């Protein structure tokens, strides 16, 4: 049962911000980072996707990212992703902040989006920082920058690296300015994304968590919907359409 306050916000809000994490892509077949699924060749995914692995073992790092890119290339958006395209249609001032690098929200059709942790299909020069958007095939030797000869790396934000200032600013503005903030399929521990729901709440937003598991955010959210995004988000779309009609 949804609370009256939540239903009223769903009906009357125009500014809605959604933060997504790996959980929304889990039902497409992409393993999440933490917990039992976050293992690749006996190594923890959360330890592979780090600046330390890129620096100390770039071959292993690229082997992992070759695997991840191939996997992501083979999967499709799921019902949870498509429901967020409906959210964008239903709310005038909608904004999607994703921590995912898998491009699935864009493939599904969302346009008002910021990718806080980058996009796995782009590469970036470690030396001059230029972004390369042309596709690169499986990396066997470390690829080089066509401008300066530096090593290329995936254009993703690893632990200990700074997020793009303009992306973070957009996400913070969307969090501070919304009437409902959804935190969807994220363990809510990786900063600075994990602070966004608190920023939203401090500015009067109604904070809703969607996750089958409890997270550190759960006790601070106004509403927790326990379950998979592929079921709960489409169900919410039906409710919103009824409320708005
Ligand atoms: C389902 C489901 C279904 C399953 N439906 N749900 C302040 C305090 C302490 C430390 C820091 C701090 N500020 C910064 C830091 C350091 C660090 C950090 O946050 N550490 C914490 C772990 C403590 N942050 C950083 O380093 C960031 N940089 C930064 O802030 O720079 C300035 C700075 C540096 C150092 C110190 C201080 C300031 C950068 C963070 C970059 C994160 N990068 C990665 C890899 C990206 C590349 C790639 O994807 O290949 O981003 S790590 C990984 O974690 C990835 C994710 O985007 C991110 C978040 O994970 P997410 O999405 O939450 O996934 P999971 O697996 O954790 O959770 C999945 C959830 O789904 C679970 O809850 C499931 O239950 C759920 N689920 N199935 C719905 N069907
Ligand atoms: Zn370069």
Count H helices and E strands in the chain, helices first: 10, 11
pLDDT for the residue numbered 24: 98
Pocket of ligand 1 (CB under 6 A): 21-23, 26-27, 32-34, 38, 46, 49, 99, 101, 117, 156-162, 185-187, 189-192, 211-213, 215, 228-229
List, for residues 87-123, the tens digit of each pLDDT value: 999 999 999 999 999 999 999 999 999 999 999 999 9
Q: Using 50, 70 and 90 to split pLDDT, how confident is the model at 199?
A: very high
What per-residue confidence (pLDDT) applies to 202? 98
Residue 158 near residue 54 (C-beta atoms within 8 A): yes
The whole-number pLDDT of residue 139 equals 64
Instruction: Report whether pLDDT(30) > 80.
Output: yes
Ligand 1: atom nearest CA of 228 is 5
pTM reported for the whole predicted model? 0.96
Question: Considering only CA atoms, which residue is closest to atom 9 of ligand 1?
Answer: 191
Distances (CA, A) of 21 to 81, 88, 135, 213: 11, 18, 24, 13
**Ligand in nearest proximity to the CA of 146:** 2
């Amino acid at each position: 049962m949804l609370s009256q306050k939540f239903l009223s916000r769903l009906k009357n809000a125009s500014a809605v911000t959604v933060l997504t994490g790996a959980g929304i892509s889990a039902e497409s077949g992409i393993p999440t980072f933490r917990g039992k699924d976050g293992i690749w060749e006996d190594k923890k995914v959360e330890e592979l996707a780090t600046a330390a692995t890129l620096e100390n073992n770039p071959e292993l790092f690229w082997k992992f990212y070759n695997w991840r890119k191939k996997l992501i290339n083979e999967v499709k958006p799921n019902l949870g992703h498509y429901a967020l395209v409906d959210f964008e249609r239903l709310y005038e001032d909608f904004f999607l902040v994703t921590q995912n690098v898998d491009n699935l929200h864009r493939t599904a059709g969302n346009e008002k989006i910021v990718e806080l942790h980058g996009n796995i299909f782009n590469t970036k020069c470690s030396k001059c920082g230029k972004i390369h958007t042309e596709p690169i095939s499986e990396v066997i030797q470390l690829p080089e920058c066509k401008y300066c000869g530096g090593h290329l790396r995936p254009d993703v934000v690893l632990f200990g690296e700074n997020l793009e200032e303009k992306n973070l600013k957009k996400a913070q503005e969307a969090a501070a300015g919304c009437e409902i903030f959804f935190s969807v399929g994220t363990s809510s521990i990786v900063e600075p994304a994990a602070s966004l729901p608190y920023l939203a709440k401090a500015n009067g937003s109604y904070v809703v968590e969607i996750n089958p598991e409890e997270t550190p955010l759960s006790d601070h959210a106004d509403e927790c919907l326990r379950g998979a995004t592929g079921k709960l988000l489409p169900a919410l779309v039906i409710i919103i359409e009824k409320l708005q009609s």
